[in-house]
């Protein structure tokens, strides 16, 4: 199956020389995988929602949304729609159910390597006060979601600093 575990267990990612860490819950991982399976050979993606640990060093991803009804995608491209997204985020925020933490998408049959466009978009998110997320997380699932796949996880810090994270054994 996928990376060191199944969609039922949480995955931890940490940086070597940085305090950043990400926990991808089993629920969110299952949402990612099932959305990618449904997409087949087309890209898909969505947003990451969750919370931060009490020390604010770990982003805990609890929800990975689907692409939304106004999204468009093809074999090697995705334009993630926004229809209904703000309403969902407002609802979760006001109920204490989580915050926007970043973006995720799928590279079908390919490596989970961020493209130039992926990097540019994440830098815009990190620097835009509109997103209220100065250190967004990017998760890319690459390969075959029903079989062998890999995950790429990184944090985009202030001033465009990229911090790639590595999965750690639990």
Positions marked active-site: 43
DSSP characters for 63-78?
EE----TT-EEETTEE
* β-bridge pairing 149-156 and 77-79: unpaired
pLDDT for residue 81: 61
pLDDT for residue 5: 44
pTM: 0.85
pLDDT for residue 165: 96
Cα separation, 127 vs 156, in Å, equals 10
Which domains, from first to last, does the chain contain?
Answer: 11-168 (3.40.140.10)
pLDDT for residue 44: 87
Taking the CB of residue 138, how many other CB atoms lie within 10 A of it? 25
Q: How does pLDDT run across 94-148, given as a tens digit for each residue?
A: 666 678 899 999 999 999 999 998 999 899 889 888 888 789 999 999 999 888 9
Are the beta carbons of 22 and 155 closer than 8 angstroms?
yes
pLDDT for residue 4: 45
The two three-digit tokens of residue 161, written as one number? 């600093």
Averaged confidence pLDDT in the chain: 84
Cα separation, 126 vs 148, in Å, equals 31
Q: How does pLDDT run across 58-83, given as a tens digit for each residue?
A: 999 999 987 877 666 667 656 666 66
The alpha carbon dihedral of 49, 53, 59, 64 has a sign of negative
Angle, alpha carbons 94-100-104 (nearest 5°)? 150
Taking the CB of residue 117, how many other CB atoms lie within 10 A of it? 10
Q: 62, 48, 35, 27: which is closest to 146 by C-alpha?
A: 35
What residues form DSSP beta bridges with 73? Answer: 78
Determine what percent of the chain is predicted with pLDDT higher than 90: 46
Cα separation, 2 vs 5, in Å, equals 7
């Amino acid at each position: 199956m996928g990376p060191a575990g199944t969609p039922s267990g949480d995955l931890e990612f940490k940086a070597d020389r940085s305090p950043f860490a990400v926990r991808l819950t089993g629920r969110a991982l299952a949402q990612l995988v099932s959305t990618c399976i449904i997409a087949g050979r087309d890209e898909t993606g969505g947003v990451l929602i969750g919370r931060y640990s009490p020390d604010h060093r770990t982003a805990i991803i609890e929800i990975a949304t689907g692409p939304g009804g106004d999204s468009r995608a093809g074999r090697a491209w995705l334009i993630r729609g926004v229809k209904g997204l703000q309403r969902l985020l407002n609802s979760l925020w006001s109920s204490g159910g989580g915050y926007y933490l970043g973006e995720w998408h799928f590279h079908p049959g390919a490596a989970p390597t961020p493209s130039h466009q992926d990097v540019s978009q994440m830098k815009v998110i990190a620097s835009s006060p509109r997103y209220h997320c100065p250190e967004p997380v990017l998760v890319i699932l690459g390969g075959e979601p029903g079989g062998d796949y890999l995950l790429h996880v990184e944090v985009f810090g202030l001033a465009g600093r990229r911090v790639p994270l590595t999965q750690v054994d639990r």
